[in-house]
Amino acid sequence: MSSSSRGGRFKVRFRNIFRHPTTGETPLPAADLVASDPETLRREIEVRDAALLKAEQMIQSLREELDERRSEADALRRVGEATGAAFDLEDMLQVTVEVAIHVTRTDSCQIYLLDPKTNELVLRAADETGQSMIGKIRLKVGEGITGWAAKERKPVAVPKNAYEDDRFRFFPEIHEEQFESILSVPLLSRGRVLGVVNVRTREPREYTKHQMRLLSGIAGQVAGAIEKASRTRDLERTAVQLQQLSEVSRTIMSNVYLDDMLLKFVQLTARAMSYKICTVMLVNHQTQELVIKATCGSDGRAPIPEYVHKPPIRLGESIAGRAVLQGRIMTVPDVKKHPHTRFPDIAERAGLTSLASVPLMITGEVLGVLNCYTERVHEFPPEELAILQALGAQAALAIQTARLMMKSAVIQEMNHRVKNNLQQIASLVRLQMRYGGFATVEEAMNDTLSRIQAIAAVHELLLRDDLDSVSIGRLAEHILFATKQSVVAPGKSIVTEFAGPDIRLPLSHATTFALVLNELVQNAVEHGFSDLDQGRILVEARKTDAEITVTVLNDGHPLPEGFDPSMKGRLGLRIVSDLVRGGLNGTFTMTSDHDAGGIVARVTFPVP
């Protein structure tokens, strides 16, 4: 109400108080009183006395109202000073409790804040009667008088016997039996409920409009301070995250070694975003699987071994596989309870709850996925997901760059290796010329050609692969297929098979190993099945922490008595012995093993 309208109202009120309280007559002017008779004079004096009394009462009422307004303004000023001076939210709430008790002249005060994740009101500040229960008392919205005020978004006052109210929720830990009355006022900001503030008295009390207005004003100030503090924290967190995002980008873009880059990426992301664990899984396009390449927690340590050694997952399988297949971020509140979680037991033991799976995409191609886990239930807001998406894009670019740099280095290395391979081929040809004993030129050329093809297979696989290494399994499958195509005579049925994990060899070992395996497979076909129409060749690979063992088993003719692979005339096996010993620093044996089901050629060498 404006001052002019209020002034007009008071003028009317003062003018009306000079009417006679029973007759309604307006007193005569002072000049007319002199000429009047004594009776008239007496009545006029009574009118004026009554008017003066009424005026005094009105003045007193206005003074009281003014005092209340001043008290209210002073209380709100004190709350404002308290909320502004407090260093953190807990301090601000505790100071508000003390001020609220003082200005409302009540005996107790509690402040509950809403936890949006659980939709519960949590006791966050209280006087001495409830100090021990801070953080422990929780109420659903709508539960108790406090929850009712939050649900209805309006104050509720119970003047006496509050504990008998149907809505009342009794907590003996805060001695609620001591209090008669309660006034609950919701903390509202921009239409959102942030919490509830309660005041209570030990004696019955009818809360006046002034007291309700005063507590509502305090609640409004507290809600505004909470909202401001929340926005400030969000801005500070975002600023820190953006700064750390810049650090992540600089770090991963300056590291050309893929494994090192990915490990640094998950370390920085987990620390910057305060995640329990961050993991990068890359797509294996040959198997259509996601394989863990790097994982780390916010404390800089790797998670439990069970998590690190989880088997690959197929695209479309589990939450991460679905995120990759659909090319979009997927979030889950609790992975332990989600139906698409493949290993909920491991998640339970690792202490993982919420998950955001972020595809690592570049130019529409998904290279992998970034999995971000939290320890507690966490709702990933849009701003946070935007940061993760930016991180994912940076990581995808860094992965692509690292792979291109690696392939460039591999090509340079291959130029060097080609020269060495040509020299190796020349040496093999000289051995053939000296010890081969071939019946025809065609036979000699075919033998040389098979060795050249084995070396070529290494380079072909290397160019197809992502890193500077070759898979033993893929190399074995390539050599087995090429041998069946070029060496096995028409009409024969030789079944070939590879068994074992995905073991990788660096380029320095791959060419030598390819020549060894090619010789052993060809030897099995030419000598084991020389006059047999069918048979089986199995290549099996195994790896320990120290060494790799590759076995070539065929169920063809057994070895003759006193067989020695280094004897003159067995050029292929001599080549194998020399290459294994000189190129792989390993050992080679060849025996007949009835338990294994045939002839076993075994090559063992240290893990490079």
Q: Based on the domain organization, do 334 and 471 belong to the same domain?
A: no
Q: Are 107 and 200 in contact (CB under 8 A)?
A: yes
Residue type, 333: P
Give 249's pLDDT tier (boundaries 50, 70, 90).
Answer: low
Higher pLDDT, 47 or 251: 47
What is residue 6's predicted lDDT score, i.e. its pLDDT? Answer: 43
Q: Are 216 and 155 in contact (CB under 8 A)?
A: yes
Average pLDDT over residues 399-419: 69
What is residue 391's predicted lDDT score, i.e. its pLDDT? Answer: 86
Q: Based on the domain organization, do 223 and 278 belong to the same domain?
A: no
Tokens, residue 403: 């792979």
pLDDT of 178 over the 90 cut: no
579: part of which helix (H) or strand (E)? helix 571-583
Task: Report the number of secondary-structure helices (H) and strands (E) in the chain.
Answer: 15, 19
Tokens, residue 489: 């005579």
Query: E strands along 137-219, which residues?
Result: 138-140, 156-158, 181-189, 192-201
Please give the backbone phi and psi of residue 537, each rounded to the nearest 5 degrees, phi first: -125, 125
What is residue 328's predicted lDDT score, i.e. its pLDDT? Answer: 93
pLDDT in tens, 273-314: 889 999 999 998 888 999 999 999 888 888 888 888 888 999
Residue type, 4: S
pLDDT in tens, 38-58: 777 777 787 777 778 887 778
3-class SS of residue 333: coil
Q: Based on the domain organization, do 493 and 372 belong to the same domain?
A: no
Q: Based on the domain organization, do 350 and 476 belong to the same domain?
A: no
The CATH number for 149's domain is 3.30.450.40
Using the structure block, give the residue that is written with the tokens 């504990």.
163
Domain assignment present for residue 494? The answer is yes
Q: Based on the domain organization, do 441 and 584 belong to the same domain?
A: yes
Domain assignment present for residue 51? The answer is yes
Tokens, residue 380: 């990933």
How many angstroms separate the CA atoms of 216 and 196, rounded? 10
Rounded to the nearest 10°, the torsion over CA 603, 604, 607, 608 is: -50
How many angstroms separate the CA atoms of 547 and 586, rounded? 9
Query: E strands along 386-501, which residues?
Result: 469-471, 493-499
Q: Are 368 and 399 in contact (CB under 8 A)?
A: yes
Q: Are 372 and 384 in contact (CB under 8 A)?
A: no
Residue type, 389: Q
Q: Are 364 and 387 in contact (CB under 8 A)?
A: no
Q: Based on the domain organization, do 152 and 186 belong to the same domain?
A: yes
Residue type, 1: M
pLDDT of 184 over the 80 cut: yes
Q: How many CA atoms lie within 13 A of 269 on its CB side?
A: 32
Query: Structural domain of residue 535, as residue ranges?
Result: 437-606
pLDDT in tens, 77-93: 666 665 555 557 788 78
What is residue 1's predicted lDDT score, i.e. its pLDDT? Answer: 43
How many angstroms separate the CA atoms of 591 and 560, rounded? 10
- Residue whose C-alpha is closest to residue 507's, from 421, 404, 424: 421
Q: How many domains does the chain have?
A: 4
How many angstroms separate the CA atoms of 585 and 11, rounded? 112
What is residue 526's predicted lDDT score, i.e. its pLDDT? Answer: 79
Tokens, residue 427: 């040496």
Domain assignment present for residue 366? The answer is yes
What is residue 538's predicted lDDT score, i.e. its pLDDT? Answer: 92
Count CB-CB contacts under 10 A for residue 574: 17
Rounded to the nearest 10°, the torsion over CA 322, 325, 328, 333 is: 10
Beta bridge partners of 364: none
Beta bridge partners of 331: 356
What is residue 441's predicted lDDT score, i.e. its pLDDT? Answer: 62
Structural domain ending residue among the three candidates 404, 419, 446:
404
Q: Based on the domain organization, do 320 and 287 belong to the same domain?
A: yes
pLDDT in tens, 319-358: 999 999 999 999 999 999 999 998 999 999 999 999 999 9
Domain assignment present for residue 242? The answer is no
- Residue whose C-alpha is closest to residue 313's, from 284, 339, 333: 284
What is residue 541's predicted lDDT score, i.e. its pLDDT? Answer: 95
Higher pLDDT, 531 or 376: 376
pLDDT in tens, 544-583: 999 999 999 998 888 887 777 666 445 667 778 888 888 8
Q: Are 513 and 582 in contact (CB under 8 A)?
A: no
Domain assignment present for residue 240? The answer is no
Structural domain ending residue among the three candidates 204, 234, 264:
234
Pair type for strands 330-332 and 547-554: unpaired
3-class SS of residue 389: helix
Give 443's pLDDT tier (boundaries 50, 70, 90).
Answer: low
What is residue 475's predicted lDDT score, i.e. its pLDDT? Answer: 85
The CATH number for 475's domain is 3.30.565.10
pLDDT of 125 over the 80 cut: yes
Q: Are 218 and 79 in contact (CB under 8 A)?
A: yes
Using the structure block, give the residue that is written with the tokens 């916010």.
298
Domain assignment present for residue 573? The answer is yes
What is residue 501's predicted lDDT score, i.e. its pLDDT? Answer: 92
Q: Based on the domain organization, do 61 and 123 belong to the same domain?
A: no
Q: Based on the domain organization, do 448 and 380 belong to the same domain?
A: no
Give 119's pLDDT tier (boundaries 50, 70, 90).
Answer: confident
Average pLDDT over residues 456-482: 73
What is residue 260's predicted lDDT score, i.e. its pLDDT? Answer: 82
Pair type for strands 120-126 and 138-140: antiparallel
pLDDT in tens, 139-176: 999 999 999 999 999 999 999 998 888 888 888 887 78
Q: Based on the domain organization, do 449 and 540 belong to the same domain?
A: yes
Structural domain ending residue among the three candidates 234, 267, 284:
234
Q: Are 196 and 149 in contact (CB under 8 A)?
A: yes
Give 364's pLDDT tier (boundaries 50, 70, 90).
Answer: confident
Question: For 111, which DSSP code?
Answer: E
Q: Based on the domain organization, do 400 and 284 belong to the same domain?
A: yes
pLDDT of 36 over the 70 cut: no
Q: Based on the domain organization, do 131 and 225 belong to the same domain?
A: yes
Average pLDDT over residues 466-485: 79
Domain assignment present for residue 427? The answer is no
- Burial per residue of 75-95, b for 16 or more beta-carbon CB atoms within 10 angstroms, e otherwise: bbebbbebbeebeebeebbbb
Average pLDDT over residues 445-464: 64
pLDDT of 390 over the 80 cut: yes
> Averaging pLDDT over each range in 54-68, 199-213, 223-237, which range is the top one?
199-213
> What's this model's pTM, rounded to 2 decimal places?
0.46
Average pLDDT over residues 223-252: 70
Domain assignment present for residue 415? The answer is no
